[in-house]
Amino acid sequence: MSNSLATPDFRFRRLRRTTALRELVRETHLRMTDFILPIFVEEGISEPVAIKSMPDVFRYPEAQLAAVVQRAWDKGVRAIILFGVSTHKDEIGSDTFAKDGLLARMIRIAKTAQPDMLVISDNCFCEYTTHGHCGVLHKIIGDKQNDVDNDATLKNLQKQVVLAAQAGADMIAPSGMMDGMISAIRQALDIAGFTHIPIMSYSTKFASAFYGPFRDAVDSTFKGTRNTYQMDPANAREALAESLQDEAEGADILMVKPGLAYLDVLAEIRAHSSRPLAVYQVSGEYAMIKAGAAAGVIDEKAIVLETMIAFKRAGANLIITYYAEKLADWV
């Protein structure tokens, strides 16, 4: 049939006509159980300290952690990830594997406050080392000076994760981007009797400017870069290989960090792995949305929901976000 106003073969708009129809055919959904809330605990403070570029995000004193966990639980948050900011720093971050160090104390407090909350331990050294790197530095002077010694770091990481598991962590989340970290951790946990504790690897973590607000808040003494261990944002093939390597080493959950600028990487990993996949919406992503909303140029709620949907559509199953508590009002 010829028609000068030729219509397309298929009318997609038929399923967009009403709200009920649109909801019926919606492919991607958000639930509170998708979200993981990061919580920062800092030694040596007695009141919450606001992070200037991240409105509504605070570093909390240890004495308030139990209340913060309970508040999140009451809001509907079911998983948290704990970050410590230590005043007991040394060259190797030994506080992270001390029985009564901050890392172990935070986990114990959180689990006691709400035993049903899934408590994830972020396992790194950067907030516990005087130099601010994510591990032990090489002793050799020369071109390796100020570079992280991979295998020496793994030994300390093994001690750290066993301590975290002993303190009651439900999941171990190594974020230091050391080679072999998943095998080393799995082996240490299994030997110590923690065969049942899963590992969520920061498997593809980029050396990103989107960490800026976080670094300003907690890493003010760190002057270098993490380019010798975190990934080059330009590399997508390597990003896939990094995550698949962690899967092969036994990671239970994989992750891409940061989020919004790396949706292609998420989709690629999703297509090649059957493991659950997490995404971390980092401080810079949060700060930009907040700044845009404060300037009156975007609708905060709509932008956040659209961003969360984008993460899931791209293949993320879990989302680590500073919006986790707020999302309870929105989903």
Stretch that binds ligand PBG, among 10-18, 66-74, 144-152, 211-219 (CB under 6 A): 211-219
Strand pairing category for 49-50 and 58-61: antiparallel
Selected binder of ligand PBG within 35, 58, 128, 214 (CB under 6 A)? 214
Q: Measured from the CB atom, is 194 or 286 closer to ligand PBG?
A: 286
Residue 106 near ligand PBG by CB under 6 A: no
Instruction: Based on the residue annotation, tell me whether 159 is a catalytic residue of this protein.
Output: no
Q: Which residues contact 300 (CB under 8 A, 6 or more apart)?
A: 289, 290, 292, 293
Footprint (CB under 6 A) of ligand PBG, residues 252-291:
282-283
Q: Under a CB-based contact definition with an 8 Å cutoff, are residues 120 and 82 in contact?
A: yes
Asked if residues 172 and 197 have their Cβ atoms less than 8 Å apart, the reply is yes
Nearer CB in complex with ligand PBG: 68/81: 81
Q: Minimal distance in Å, beta carbon 277 to ligand PBG?
A: 18
Residue 16's contacts (CB-CB under 8 Å, 6 or more residues apart) are 22
Contacts with ligand PBG, 175-194, as mask; x by CB under 6 A: x-------------------
Degrees (nearest 5) of the Cα angle 134, 279, 120?
Answer: 60
Q: Which residues pair with 120 in a beta bridge?
A: 81, 171
Q: Which stretch binds ligand PBG (CB under 6 A): 19-27, 106-114, 210-218, 299-307?
A: 210-218
Of 69 and 82, which has the nearer Cβ to ligand PBG?
82
Choosing from 75, 215, 301, 326, the residue that interacts with ligand PBG (CB under 6 A) is 215
Are 172 and 142 in contact, with CB atoms under 8 Å apart? no
Stated as kind and residue range, the H or E segment containing 80 is strand 79-85
Using rule CB under 6 A, residue 40 touches ligand PBG: no
201 touches ligand PBG (CB under 6 A): no
Are 259 and 195 within 8 A, CB to CB? no
Of residues 133 through 172, those in contact with ligand PBG by CB under 6 A are: 134
DSSP class of residue 64? G
Active site residue 205: yes
Residues in contact with ligand PBG by CB under 6 A are 124, 126, 134, 175, 211, 214-215, 219, 226, 282-283
Catalytic residues: 205, 257
